[in-house]
Amino acid sequence: MKRTIFILLLFFGSVVTGDDYRIHERSNLWETIWDNGKIGGEVSPSETNPSMDWPGGPPGIDELSQRSYLKMGGVWIGGKNEKDSIFFDECGPYATGQEGALNTWTTHSMGIERIENFNGSSDFDPGEGEEIIISKWTTKNGITVTRKSMVWSYPGKRWGLRPGYNNFIVTDYIFKNTGDTDGNGISDIERNYQDVFFGFCYLIQPSSQDKLLHGWGSGYLDADDVVRYDSTRALLYAYDSISQAAGGASFDYGNLYEGEIRTPGYAGFAKLYSDPSTDGSPQPHTVFYAQSIERTYTLLQMGKRNLYYILSGDSASIYMPEENCWLAPFLLQGYGPYSLEMGDSVHIVIVEAVHGISPQTCLGGSGSQQYLKDGHKYLTRSVDKANEIFNNNYYLEDYPPPAPDIVEIEPIPREGELLVPLVLTWDDSFDDYVDPATGIQDLEGYKVYRSDYYYIGPYVELASIPKEDPDFYDSYTGRYTFPDTTVELGHGYFYAVVAFDSSGNESGKTNRNIEAVYAIRPPSTQLDVKVAPNPFKRVSGWTTTGDEYKLMFYNLPLKCTIRIFTISGDLVREIHHDDPNSGCEFWDQFTDSRMRVSSGVYLYSVESDIGSTNGTILIIK
């Protein structure tokens, strides 16, 4: 194996967007898979998709809240034809501008599909992933690639120490010399290739959360990313360290932001399998990690010959950067050499994985930074779990029961209670679940988890409910009902209901609500309107992410109009409230023209059919 470590730059032209994509969102690790070979990356400047997001979600997340570890990934294919001429096909992550033409993309899509194979479904195949994405494309040199990526939702029994199968993506590649150059399924050329190498390229960027801390440009923030190679696992990975650009500031380690560590993960990819090479050399043949520029300051192009020699491990000659160009890791594994005559194929399986300290530990602030290094052993254990499931042909010895679909989460008023409990309801469709590995009907019950912070957690267990417990189960309707009476006014909550079996296995939290649900009070029949917090001092005190600047009006009548004014009488915001179940309404401190208000005293009025009232709000920032 040829291993090269460089702290230099690769310069490439602009990235070309693929035609179509599907998203893995079943496990903790979310990823965008494209039909042209690319992995991750943005859809457009205005649309953000998962890109090695860990923990992933929720759908539609904004870039600054996204826990992304990847700028982009893809596949390189290079070799020689019968005339000993070099060819090079790029299937992401760049368009290199080969042969003098900018944005040259050398693939043709042949389709992509996402398949749900969820545990508990009537046609569940235990020898496959729970979520499968199959993409297929061909290159201008007639090599057709079929990529099958798979994920599982099954968690471990103890975070990091006994990890499950939900922190990695297994990706199976078949490279075949079909002679099809345009994706129509018909052979256009007949060529035999030698010294063929297949490369897997990842621009792993653990420091994307630096944008929150420093507002730095995307190149500057990557100066603290560290790359390492674990030869025993063929694992190439990166993690966030302390930035020299920030003067070695301690808050930059793990990207500590407002008491939360935002970048706890160690992210990488490793070999699970590769066909024997022509010369019998150990695989991967090439391990190369350098520093790749994310923003193009000067358009420099690398020809196919240079790229092929990097892929084959015969060269590390790459362009030097301009001064003051900050860096993002470029990680490459090359497999080969292979002979690829017409009809021949090569099989390679890669695992992409991320793991680190738990969301609960991340909220420990600077006191938790000492545990960040544990992410390395958590990552290696996850890669070991991927090897385990691959070597067992994707079968498990014991499957956790599937999580039920939560039918609804809604506030249900109770007579005489000022605070409305949130009630979860789910059906009993999996009560008779039979483990496909053991043949045993072993579902024992359900656990209710809640987070008052964010969709990704941390979650705490609220209740463990035995199967068909009459306190929670209605045999007539076939539904379970759990009232959460511990909610607090104004706080938002995320819930998950998991099933557990007699061995202690739990299902994944696959049924979480995407948006927070709120504890409320019922409408008031008297005008005793209150605002909280008042005064507002810097942040609201609500624990739910995104609610830091919200104020809540409560004790509202079921239908009313709230108007907020400056002290001089200018209208700032008008809010119409009409809810028969809630006497609460939030104000996010934005004006009607979507401008954030400044510190000061504000007046409000509430007008309704039962009368009018007014008051003041003091905002201190």
pLDDT digits 0-9 by tens, 262-294: 999 999 999 999 999 999 999 999 998 876 544
Residue-wise pLDDT tens digits, 153-202: 999 988 878 899 999 999 999 999 999 999 999 999 999 999 999 999 99
Q: Does a structural domain hold residue 523?
A: no
Q: Give the rounded distance of the alpha carbon of 517 from its chain centre.
A: 22
Q: Give the rounded distance of the alpha carbon of 481 from its chain centre.
A: 31
**DSSP 8-state secondary structure symbol assigned to residue 384:** H
Please say which residue of 466, 495, 518 terminates a domain.
518
- pLDDT at residue 368 above 90? yes
CATH of the domain at 592: 2.60.40.1930
Q: What percent of the chain has pLDDT over 90?
A: 68
286-292 and 2-10 as β-strands: parallel, antiparallel, unpaired?
parallel
pLDDT given for residue 432 in this prediction: 96
Cβ neighbors of 329 (< 8 A, separation 6 or more) are 203, 204, 205, 222, 225, 227, 238, 289, 290, 291, 292
Q: Does a structural domain hold residue 399?
A: no
Co-location of 57 and 166 in the same domain:
yes
Q: Give me the sign of the Cα torsion angle 13, 17, 19, 25.
A: positive
Average of per-residue pLDDT across 109-133: 96
Co-location of 544 and 501 in the same domain:
no
End-to-end CA distance of the chain: 58
Co-location of 290 and 436 in the same domain:
no
- For residue 170 the two structure tokens come to 């297994």
Q: Does a structural domain hold residue 506?
A: yes
**DSSP 8-state secondary structure symbol assigned to residue 113:** E
Co-location of 318 and 416 in the same domain:
no
CB contact at 8 A, 451 and 501: no
pLDDT given for residue 382 in this prediction: 97
CB contact at 8 A, 320 and 293: no
Q: Does a structural domain hold residue 490?
A: yes
Q: Give me the sign of the Cα torsion angle 413, 415, 419, 422.
A: negative
Co-location of 253 and 119 in the same domain:
yes
Rg of the chain over Cα atoms, rounded to whole angstroms, equals 27
Q: Does a structural domain hold residue 396?
A: no
Q: Does a structural domain hold residue 442?
A: yes
Please say which residue of 518, 548, 566 terminates a domain.
518
- pLDDT at residue 41 above 90? no
Residue-range definition of the domain harbouring residue 560: 530-620
Please tell me the total count of domains within the chain: 3
Q: Give me the sign of the Cα torsion angle 523, 526, 527, 528.
A: negative
Residue-wise pLDDT tens digits, 565-618: 999 999 999 999 999 888 999 999 999 999 999 999 999 999 999 999 999 999
Q: Does a structural domain hold residue 159?
A: yes
Co-location of 422 and 547 in the same domain:
no
- The region, left, alpha or beta by phi > 0 then psi within -120 to 50, assigned to residue 376 is alpha
Q: Which amino acid is at 603?
A: L
CB contact at 8 A, 20 and 110: no
The SS3 call for residue 294 is: coil
Name the maximum alpha-carbon separation found in the chain: 90
Co-location of 514 and 535 in the same domain:
no
CATH of the domain at 506: 2.60.40.10
Mean pLDDT (the chain) is 87
pLDDT given for residue 17 in this prediction: 36
Co-location of 264 and 318 in the same domain:
yes
CB contact at 8 A, 452 and 484: no
Q: Give me the sign of the Cα torsion angle 456, 377, 372, 266.
A: negative
Co-location of 508 and 598 in the same domain:
no
CB contact at 8 A, 33 and 19: no
- pLDDT at residue 4 above 80? no
- For residue 203 the two structure tokens come to 């621009």
Q: Does a structural domain hold residue 249?
A: yes
Q: 43 pLDDT band (50/70/90 cuts)? A: low
Please say which residue of 359, 391, 423 terminates a domain.
391
Co-location of 597 and 559 in the same domain:
yes
Co-location of 314 and 432 in the same domain:
no
Element (H, E) at 360: helix 359-362
Co-location of 224 and 273 in the same domain:
yes
Please state, in angstroms and as integers, the Cα–Cα distance from residue 425 to each residue in 32, 489, 517, 563, following that order: 32, 21, 14, 37
Q: pTM for this structure?
A: 0.90
More confident site: 306 or 9: 306
